[in-house]
Amino acid sequence: MSQRNLAWLITVPALVVFAAVLAATAPPPEPHYKQVRTIVDVLADVEKNFYRELTPKEKQQLVEDMINGGLQKLDPYSEYFNEERLKQFAADNKGVFAGIGAYLGVDPKTGVLKVDSPMPDSPALEAGLQADDLILKIDGKETDGMRFEEARTHIKGEPGTAVRLTILRPSAGSTFDVTVTRALIQTHPVKGFARRADDPTRWTYLADEANKIAYIRLSEFSETAGREVKAALQEAEAAGAKALILDMRGNPGGLLRQSIEIGDLFLGGGYIVRTRDRHDTGRDEQAKADGTVWESAERMPMAVLVNRASASAAEIVAAALQDNGRAVIVGERTYGKGSVQKSFDSPDGKTALKLTTERWLTPNGKNIHRWPESKETDDWGVRPDAGLEVKMTPEQIVQTILHQREAERIRPKGNGGAKPAADKPAPDKPADPPKKPAKVDPDQPEPVKLDPNFKDPVMEKALEYLRKKVAG
């Protein structure tokens, strides 16, 4: 089996692959042969005696479930990838997908599929779609009664193919059809404080203009994370930033090399992370003197925001900056994932095994992993600095997420009632009212509304700390 030059930290059938490897070894190891023989015997018994005949797809799924079930018992982060899952996993790490480039949601008033926001540089934005547009039909098929995942599947598709959407724009009171050509969409893991008024596809990074405190939110460690963080830092510094808030709340992790690259942006020396395998050997990744963007904690004070959903690569960066005295940690204790996964390809390269191969240590030599038997009182995860722990209520957490989504939305510049340039309807075409949900669950709670007066307590704590630092 070939090993990919890629490591993950984490958000055939393999039986045939394993048998092929064993067949290439003469003679096969006796214990391995017996283990494979057991699996083959079980499959043969199912094939012969199960109360009904399985389809080829069901047989394939049975083998994959057997493999993944066993791997999950060994380690929750190890996984067998079939061909489809491998393609999706590779696309996620690259930060790309095929579609029209729009965040979709459901309108809480009508239950109708809607556009939460088009993405920057996307076919959806180019076609003129706007936030809050209601999608009444997809290629002539009404979305009323369509499951959300089903609607997403209809809208996504191969690059270069087209999808025709029937749109109701509440702000203009009109309906129209628009054809959008799908493309490969690059997702962006880095966000700023607010969309720029002059160009909503770009960010402003100053969260506190008076004290020149910048804000960068990093949502995942995909392949573009490092260069996007560096570009955001340079833009924030050009705007006069004197301090930085790096928000990694809810960041599930991603690629190991990206965590090293991002840690290196803030450190001129010292360890970033250490990895150790089953033989207690590994790598000690150190920050380089060159390439650092914001090195000095005295010149550019820094606060990192984390929560219980900050995991893996996010924990590597947080621990590296904390242990090296580069930044303080604000929020709550992180998830506690101190392991590294690597991918091993099948001979044909179409499937793979993602396997936990190493554990990682902080610069101070601590493994922060939370084991299944770990208790709340045990020492796992990355903890906030003294006096900077913030406990949030469920209501505050929901409001924080709603405000983050609101900040990400791309809104039209001025002409809110304009229609897309393509497929303009006749001027007198009446607006088709969206249909109400067929059934209303009386036990379903009312959707939570955005509170315009809400202040994120974790953000406020970080601003309070940095304002004192900037004041000197």
**CA atoms 422, 130, 104, 187: torsion sign:** positive
The H or E element that residue 7 is part of is strand 2-9
In angstroms, the CA 94 to CA 254 distance is: 10
CA 126-132-133 angle, to 5 degrees, is 60
Tokens 């239950």 identify what position?
111
Residues 6+ apart with CB under 8 A from 164: 137, 138, 139, 140, 177, 178, 179, 180, 423
Closest to 118 measured CA to CA, from 166, 171, 168, 180: 180
Q: What CA–CA distance (Å, rounded) separates 221 from 15? A: 32
Place of tokens 């979709």: 104
Annotated active-site residue in 312, 339, 343, 346: 312
Distance CA 267, CA 326 (A): 7
Beta partners for residue 244, in sequence order: 214, 302
- C-alpha closest to that of 261 among 218, 299, 303: 218
Residue 302, classed as helix, strand or coil, is strand
Task: Name the 3-class secondary structure at 103.
Answer: strand
Give burial (CB, 10 Å; 0-12/13-18/19+) of 407.
middle
User: Residues 323, 343, 354, 456: which is the catalytic one?
Assistant: 323
What distance in Å separates the CA atoms of residue 175 and residue 423, rounded to the nearest whole number? 11
177 pairs with which residues across the strands?
A: 166
Told to judge if 337 belongs to the known catalytic residues of this protein, a careful annotator would answer: yes
Catalytic residue among 337, 342, 419, 469: 337
Report the C-alpha dihedral over residues 366, 370, 372, 373, rounded to 10 degrees. 60
Looking at residue 177, what DSSP letter applies? E
Please give the single-letter amino acid code of residue 194: A
d(CA 303, CA 459): 10
Residue 323 catalytic? yes
219 is annotated as an active-site residue: no
Distance of CA 160 to the CA centre of its chain: 25
Catalytic residues: 312, 323, 337
